[in-house]
């Protein structure tokens, strides 16, 4: 049992450090921050302009669609790096799997283009 405790001691220490730091980051600003900041500091700031509309206005769905497509394709491309680095190790099977994966990626991109997901009016 003591060997197991010694093995996990670095993990416990890192968890304790993370807990202490996160509590410090939460508590220190409440102690040193001003209790009554002026109105100019807490006012809405939008690129140097006065706020001219409600901040809770609705966005067009296309913004979300483009963001989701970017995230999907970005993550899929990130899966290519480990295969590309270890292509000599995985051999022909790894190459075939990577080609199938890229073909699926291209099919998804063509489908997104076909339904007009990336068209902007």
Domain boundaries, the chain: 2-114
**Contact of 94 with 86, CB cutoff 8 Å:** yes
Note the CATH architecture for domain 2-114.
Up-down Bundle (1.20)
Q: What is the DSSP string of 71-120?
A: HHHHHHHHTHHHHHHTHHHHHHHHHHHHHHHHHHHHHHHHHHHHTTTT--
Whole-model pTM?
0.47
Q: Please state, in angstroms and rounded to a whole number, the distance separating the CA atoms of residues 66 and 60.
A: 11
pLDDT in tens, 72-119: 888 887 888 888 788 788 888 888 888 898 898 889 889 988 988 878
Distance of CA 37 to the CA centre of its chain: 32
> Is a pLDDT exceeding 90 seen at residue 71?
no
């Amino acid at each position: 049992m003591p060997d197991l405790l010694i093995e996990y001691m670095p993990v416990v220490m890192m968890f304790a450090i993370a807990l202490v730091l996160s509590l410090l980051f939460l508590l220190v600003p409440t102690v040193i921050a001003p209790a009554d900041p002026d109105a100019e500091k807490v006012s809405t700031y939008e690129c140097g302009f006065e706020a001219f509309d409600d901040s809770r206005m609705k966005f067009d769905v296309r913004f979300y669609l483009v963001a989701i497509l970017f995230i999907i394709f970005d993550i899929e491309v990130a899966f290519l790096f480990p295969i590309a680095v270890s292509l000599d190790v995985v051999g022909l099977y790894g190459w075939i799997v990577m080609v199938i994966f890229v073909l699926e990626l291209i099919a998804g991109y063509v489908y997104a283009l076909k339904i007009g997901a990336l068209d902007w009016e």
